[in-house]
Structure 1
């Protein structure tokens, strides 16, 4: 019973249901209003069509879609009127409308509304029946009426998709943690069996999904009283995505070094005394990624990750002191920098201070042990 209630609650709170209800209300209101406009009753269906076509989760997106679509309709209508004046209705006029309409649809500013240019041109040419200007005005005007209904309905209770952004961020965080764990296992010489390094594309989908959801949240927060009442909620999610995105891109760089050989060697062929602390640092970074948030004010796992990176630096110094290879030292130094940049991306500098040097980190550990 609890599961059923939870499922019903999630369905009722799903953003698609919210959009569907708003679109239905806006289309109904638009249809009723269009029927009251004298002289255009036969074209009244363009009003609910405009309402549906401009329904988005964010009010600003609906406004933007309205402006672009009406502009595309008017542009297409002008093409249709021009073709009728030059060639009259017929095959040649159709070819001109479609050809010129498709060219004009390439204007970048039109965005997703570009397809309306040739379509509106065809409607004006074929349905206008000698009254192209009147038909074009009715088409654009009724579409604008429906779009206006959508904007008003959406503005009454604007959406703020916080939960959807949270799910996308959680999925990206989980994928990043798993990826780092597998990468650490693949580098660890003490692993029980060989582990295949996960493909670099594995993080592309959750990263793209999180980017899209956070971008939509940012759009929805504009001209939104709910967002003004909860500014920290939106800002925190935007910051969390920025930190995760930087960490993911740096991890991708790290894995690229496992596949490339910039100095004739790769991280998978490094000496065991360097791969062990490197794998440990990756595991600590994975644990930090799982727990870190940009709103944190306590170091938490970040201090352990900081120490793990310092341990890798210490191992590299011992390797250099024993006359190790310069190529290996260069590769490991790059890994150290990448690990530290990833950790820094997950650490809010205004709340938590990481060590500024390996020596400082060791001193901090000594003071902590004395206490």
Structure 2
């Protein structure tokens, strides 16, 4: 994997096309179309009663296509199991009673309950669907219909799995790592904008950072989901042997960033309260402390930039710690100031110290390896 750098002044922007039209999405769409086409051709070659229901093979191929190989296997297996359960439920109605409004509604209800099982998350919806189809569409030919339904769906699922495995099996490690870098860049940008706000005349002209707290949290959630998908995309994937990466390190980085985000959000709330005096609590920040704190924020952002560049972050951490010590020294000189304003500054300094403690621990762990 190459080194990536996301400058603080410019976050990665979405391409002009729709954000959801990505290379991986286009590839999945092409593979799905191919799998459906192949399934339709193969379905016509299946002997026996299944030959009467070729249209279920393309459906099986469609539902088996997933962004990851393990996802495809999971959906395929659970769908076949769900179909079998649904057919058994329908068979019980045919043997013990007869299809009518009450029995059909009862079977669909029972099937829906079974579909909610944690063992059938991916394909559970096909339990009531299969039962309903057998009772309504199968009718007098429920036995042959059931066989044809299961066989052709299985054919389509197998075709989908083969296509997904043989044609560029999806591996999303690069995407996850890139999003992790973007998260660092966003945090660095946020810290830089807060530093600018401290240096400007109050109220500052730029206040986008003040409303970004939820964005930081949502970004963290999105990165964690990307890492989960990347981890799953490696399972059973032959391409993973060529693109080896220890995602445990990336998960550790994310945990650090989530912890840092907690304190950055706290800094955002405190600084916003000090500037606009209209938040949930009142806060004051002496003007003499704004510049030293601004340098501290900017230096902390520099650590994140260094990490994104793949550099040793030890010098950047040391520079940030020195900036914080300077800010604390200025704070100590303000003993004659109002306790409320000193309390706000101390809260800001404490949050910055906790952030740097997280970063310092990372440098120590790296040095021990």
The answer to whether the superposition gives a TM-score over 0.5 is yes
Counting matched residue pairs gives: 342
Find the partner of 2:189 among 161, 165, 178.
178
CA–CA separation in structure 2 for the residues paired with 1:132 and 1:284:
72
Task: For residue 308 of structure 1, report the CA deviation from its aligned partner.
Answer: 1.8
Between 1 and 2, higher relative CO (CA 8 Å, sep ≥ 6) is seen in 2
Q: How does 1:315-334 map to 2 (within 5 A)?
A: 315-319=330-334, 327-328=343-344, 331-332=347-348, 334=350
Give the match for residue 311 of structure 1.
326
Give the match for residue 350 of structure 1.
366
CA–CA separation in structure 1 for the residues paired with 2:338 and 2:28:
66
Residues 317 and 225 from structure 1, CA distance in 2 versus in 1: closer, same or farther, beyond 3 angstroms? Answer: farther
CA contact (8 A) 1:74 1:140 kept: yes
Give the match for residue 176 of structure 2.
165
CA–CA separation in structure 1 for the residues paired with 2:368 and 2:286:
34
CA contact (8 A) 1:298 1:351 kept: no
Residues 240 and 332 from structure 1, CA distance in 2 versus in 1: closer, same or farther, beyond 3 angstroms? Answer: closer
CA contact (8 A) 1:296 1:348 kept: no
Give the match for residue 3 of structure 1.
none
CA contact (8 A) 1:259 1:266 kept: no
CA contact (8 A) 1:173 1:289 kept: yes
Residues 298 and 333 from structure 1, CA distance in 2 versus in 1: closer, same or farther, beyond 3 angstroms? Answer: closer
Structure 1 unmatched ranges of 5 or more: 1-5, 354-371
Structure 2 unmatched ranges of 5 or more: 1-14, 275-279
Residues 259 and 136 from structure 1, CA distance in 2 versus in 1: closer, same or farther, beyond 3 angstroms? Answer: farther
CA contact (8 A) 2:273 2:283 kept: no
**266-275 or 335-344, larger mean C-alpha shift:** 266-275
CA contact (8 A) 1:309 1:340 kept: no
Residues 351 and 190 from structure 1, CA distance in 2 versus in 1: closer, same or farther, beyond 3 angstroms? Answer: farther
Instruction: Report the TM-score, using the length of structure 2 for normalisation.
Output: 0.77
Task: For residue 222 of structure 1, report the CA deviation from its aligned partner.
Answer: 1.6
Cα deviations by residue, 1:335-366 (Å, 9 ceiling, x for unpaired): 2333324534775731499xxxxxxxxxxxxx
Give the match for residue 109 of structure 1.
119
CA–CA separation in structure 1 for the residues paired with 2:159 and 2:121:
22
Give the match for residue 84 of structure 1.
94
Q: How does 1:203-218 map to 2 (within 5 A)?
A: 203-218=216-231
CA contact (8 A) 1:285 1:343 kept: no
CA–CA separation in structure 2 for the residues paired with 1:71 and 1:246:
42
The two structures, once aligned, show a CA RMSD in angstroms of 3.7
**16-25 or 59-68, larger mean C-alpha shift:** 16-25
Task: For residue 53 of structure 1, report the CA deviation from its aligned partner.
Answer: 0.7
Task: For residue 62 of structure 1, report the CA deviation from its aligned partner.
Answer: 0.6
Residues 342 and 250 from structure 1, CA distance in 2 versus in 1: closer, same or farther, beyond 3 angstroms? Answer: farther
Find the partner of 2:43 among 34, 44, 69.
34
